[in-house]
Amino acid sequence: MEILKDRIIKDGVAVGTEILKVDSFLNHQIDVRLFEEIGDEFRRRFADVSGQVDKILTVEASGIAVAAFAARAFGYPPVVFAKKEKPNTMDEQYYFSEVMSFTKRTMSSIRIAKKFLSAGDRCLIIDDFLAHGQAALGLCHIADQAGAFILGVGTVIEKSFQGGGERLREKGVRVESLAVVSKIENGEIFFRI
């Protein structure tokens, strides 16, 4: 997606060799017009299954806005976001999965209340970043527990050098990434051609 790549080049900031900071348009301040385009692009990428999406799954917090714009493009299926903390209000039953947070370097569990995910639900996973694949694999694990089906994973930025995309594809999960960063070096961001 050229406008996304251009935006990453213009406003993305490389932090060391692992982290890309895109908080001016993706995960702190949000460029709503760009998010509309991102939603439409996911719809184009998943055009063959676009009529089958029962739910969009993501993880709080930065996945939520992207997932909501994707939902708009897919005809408004509900967005269900996994919670990272167990809230007081969540006294009902839930599915959970242990995931490692790459940016925070901590283990945490993500959880979705059972009432929001049912056997046979066909789900798309949408997230802002795909790095080591922990968040997406955790959501796949939760979907497995529910007997839900994953149609694919759509991510705004995949950092291919961290292996998450490969891990998912090896498991037979379809992955669509709108921009693929292959390397971050000396403050420069390289894209897969």
Residues in contact with ligand 5GP by CB under 6 A are 19-21, 27, 59, 62-63, 102-103, 127-135, 164
62 vs 97, beta carbon nearer ligand 5GP = 62
Q: How far is the CB of 121 from ligand 5GP (least distance, A)?
A: 21
Please choose, from the candidates 84, 30, 89, 90, the residue with its C-alpha nearest in 3D space to the C-alpha of residue 61: 84
Query: Which residue, 53 or 99, has its beta carbon nearer to ligand 5GP?
Result: 99
CB of 83 to ligand 5GP, least distance (A): 14
- d(Cα 11, Cα 13) in Å, to the nearest integer? 6
Q: What is the C-alpha separation between 130 and 158, in angstroms, rounded?
A: 5
Q: Least distance (Å) from ligand 5GP to the CB of residue 49? A: 22
Collapsing DSSP states into helix, strand and coil, what is residue 124? strand
Show Cβ contacts of residue 145 under 8 Å, excluding neighbours closer than 6 positions.
95
Distance CA(115)–CA(28), nearest Å, equals: 30
Q: How far is the CB of 100 from ligand 5GP (least distance, A)?
A: 7
Whichever of 93 and 186 has its CB closer to ligand 5GP, that residue is: 186
Q: What is the rounded CA–CA span in Å between residue 178 and residue 155?
A: 7
For ligand 5GP, give the closer residue by CB, 20 or 70.
Answer: 20
